[in-house]
Structures are given as C-alpha cells and as structure tokens.
Amino acid sequence: MLLFFILLVIVFIIIVLFAFPRFSPIPYFPSNNRDMKLIVNALELRNNQTVIDLGAGDGAVIFAAAEKAFKQKLNVGFIAVDINPVLILIMYIRRLFHRNRKNIRIVRDDIFRIKFDKLHTPNSIFYTFYLYISPWYLERVIKNLELKIKNFAVISYMYPVKSLKKTERIIKGLKHDVFCYNVN
C-alpha cells in the first residue's frame, strides 16, 4: 500500500514537471532520430570546441555527438542544459554509461537567464549552440548569447532564426530541416 502511494506521488510529480509551463515552458520533444546523423554532422565537431544544447531534453543530441567525438578522438566539450529535473536525472544516468562521459557536463538552469560564465570552458576557442525550441523563444535565447560572446555557431532544428538569416545554411532533413548559422 505504501509502495503504491509512493509510486503515485512520483508519477504525480513527473506529470506536474512536464505539464506545467512554470516548470517547463517549452515542452519536451526529442530531435527526430532519423535526422540525428545530419544534426551531428551539422555541429562540425573539431578540437577545442564546446557544443552546448540549450534545452537538452534527455540528451539525445549531446550523447550522439559525444559518441562521434570519442570515435574520432576529438577534444570536444559537451554541455547539456535543461530546466526539468526529471530530464536532468535521466541525463546523469545516461552519462554514467557513456564512453565519453568525462567530456560531458550537465547543467540544470534556465536558458533564458543562464549566465555565460556557467558555460565558459577554459580550453575552448569555439562554441556551437544547438537549439530545438519554439521560434518565438529562439530569438530571446540567441540575443542573450550575442551579448556575452562573439564568434559562435548556432544550429537550430526545425525552426529558422530570422535575425541570423544573412548567414543561413539549410540542411534538408528526413523529418525536419536543420538551420545553421555563424555569428561573428
């Protein structure tokens, strides 16, 4: 009986965390697996780069990209940022079993308020931000980045970033397109 009650409470907490905008204003929806290879290619992994997924979900993109960097022996740092504690917990568990875990950081924070200092990586000379969030939130998050750093790349799944149109490159996906930008 007690076990059933505990389970019920856990399920209730999970539903609250996923359903209420106060906890997760952008719903959790992972990047489509059929486009994962294209997405990881679009990140253009190279040495001394940091790849940051802002709103990382269960880490689908970060873990796939970290696997590729591991295979290619690249010195790339990965940071997964999310606000939802359940997804953060899932990423912590996934990281335990990942071959490239030493290069993966998981950060629980709000992507609209996060201070860049928290994402700063000492050996990194180039930052790539991956985003799969609603278009009306995209601009807000990117504005916040532009204020803090110069010279970075933005990879946006499914939604174009209007304010960065000048440098837009589109990769046709099987489910959705991948929009790539360089900001100087």
Please give the radius of gyration of the chain, using alpha carbons only, rounded to the nearest integer. Answer: 17
How many chain residues touch ligand SAM (CB under 6 A)?
A: 24
Closest C-alpha to 63, from 34, 92, 24, 29: 92
Region at 73 (left for phi over 0; alpha for psi -120 to 50; beta for the rest): left
Figure out which of the listed residues 45, 52, 61, 79 binds ligand SAM, where binding follows CB under 6 A.
Answer: 61
Give the tokens for residue 165: 């149109």
Q: Tell me the C-alpha to C-alpha distance, in Å, between residue 58 and each of 2, 9, 15, 54.
A: 30, 22, 16, 12
Q: Does 111 bind ligand SAM (CB under 6 A)?
A: yes
Distance set, CA 125 to CA 34, 35, 76 (Å): 30, 27, 10
Contact between residue 18 and residue 24 where contact means Cβ atoms under 8 Å apart? yes
The one segment of 2-10, 41-49, 69-77, 80-88 that binds ligand SAM by CB under 6 A? 80-88
Candidates 38, 49, 51, 55; binder of ligand SAM (CB under 6 A) is 55
Least distance to ligand SAM, CB of residue 44, Å: 17
Q: How far apart are CA 177 and CA 170, in angstroms?
A: 7
Based on the shown chain and the rule CB under 6 A, indicate whether residue 133 belongs to the binding site for ligand SAM: yes
Minimum Å distance from CB 6 to ligand SAM? 24
- How far apart (Å, rounded) are the C-alpha atoms in residues 46 and 98? 19
Strand 152-157 versus strand 178-183 pairing type:
antiparallel
For ligand SAM, the closer of residues 12 and 112 by Cβ is 112
Instruction: Work out which of 6, 7, 110, 118 binds ligand SAM, going by CB under 6 A.
Output: 110
CB of 123 to ligand SAM, least distance (A): 24
Q: Restricting to residues 30-49, which ones interact with ligand SAM according to CB under 6 A?
A: 30-31
CB of 183 to ligand SAM, least distance (A): 19
Residues that bind ligand SAM (CB under 6 A): 24-26, 28-31, 53, 55-57, 60-61, 81-84, 87, 110-112, 132-133, 157
